[in-house]
Structure 1
Amino acid sequence: MYEELESNFFLIVKLNKAKAFGLVFDAYWNALYKQAYKKVHCNDLAQDLVQDVFVSLWDKIELLDAERSVLAYLFAILRNKILKLYEKDEIRLRYALSVTSSASPSDVHSQNTLLEKELKAIIDIEVARMPIRMKEIYMLKKEDDLSIKQIAEDLSLSEQTVKNQLQMAYQRLRTKIKNYDSSLALLALFIAKHL
């Protein structure tokens, strides 16, 4: 089906832009959604990204290169939109850090509150992006305050597997925070352990 769609797509575009768009939408939406979800681990965000991809396609459908695969083009747009989303998260944090570092010393409590909120948001995003099993173990440890032994029993895993997954989860969080500002690493770990 995909080969037929790809080979006839540009002919269909010339005859009926809306029909060509509808065929591509029906054929490729699920594949794009799965890829987006794999990257952002959030249903609503993944759907928004895919919608944006199709808006871009609609705007440029008549300008596409006939030599290029439509699916490859859509995946390239999706990749760029995901990268822009990551950049936006980073810019938002850098702005918050610059605001907190330039505020007056009398406003230390407000700075700490803002910093904690930003760090919590970064941690929440990174937790949402974790592989399912790692996320599940991390949440059982952090939210339910279960011991490693309890988690291992509940999930029918070895204690070493639970320790390894928690270690990898902490490492991911440390790395994410260090990408923004290495001076935040210790504060982020403190917050991550106490959220």
Structure 2
Amino acid sequence: MFNSTLSDAELWAAIRHNDEAAFTALFDRYWVRLYKTAQVYIKDHEVSEEIVHDVFLNIWNRRDVLEIESFPAFLLTATRYQVYNRMRSAKSPVILAPEGLDISEPQDSNAGESHIMIQEFQQELDQYLVQLPRRCQEIFYLSRVRQLSNQEIAGRLGISKRTVENQITVALKHLRVCLKHVSSAILMMYLLK
């Protein structure tokens, strides 16, 4: 059990040295807050839990490359990206503001340019995905595009949940290497799905 008085920065330093107890302490510190954030938007207990677990899984898997200065800000942003992607994939209206605050139109003044950049990025992403083994591509697609949980993918494909997690990790590592030149903000948006 980790000392609860350690700062986020101290826990992060330990996590970067593969300390699972420090990771568990950080998880315990922020899990409820992130779950409540996801729940405000999603209104589904299981999906909200999956979102929080995905955020922490991505942090653990990317601990050697992430530079995190403020955990509350980083985790909130990562959770909102997960929520946005879940809602987008479900073709639901995207409202990333607490209830009562109306945001009906995006505030992006260069929406056309952003749309083109995202389309170009998607094409490049697709080129790198076809380099992966077929099964790995299929698992990545079910996870990131169809938004199935790891358990659902395992059941559908008749494989273990651990195999699903491993294949997603392989795909993400491959994409991080191939997409080094992409802006970290855009990359985070896609890889933290």
**Higher Rg:** 1
Larger fraction in helix: 1
TM-score interval, normalised by the smaller of the two chains? 0.3 to 0.5
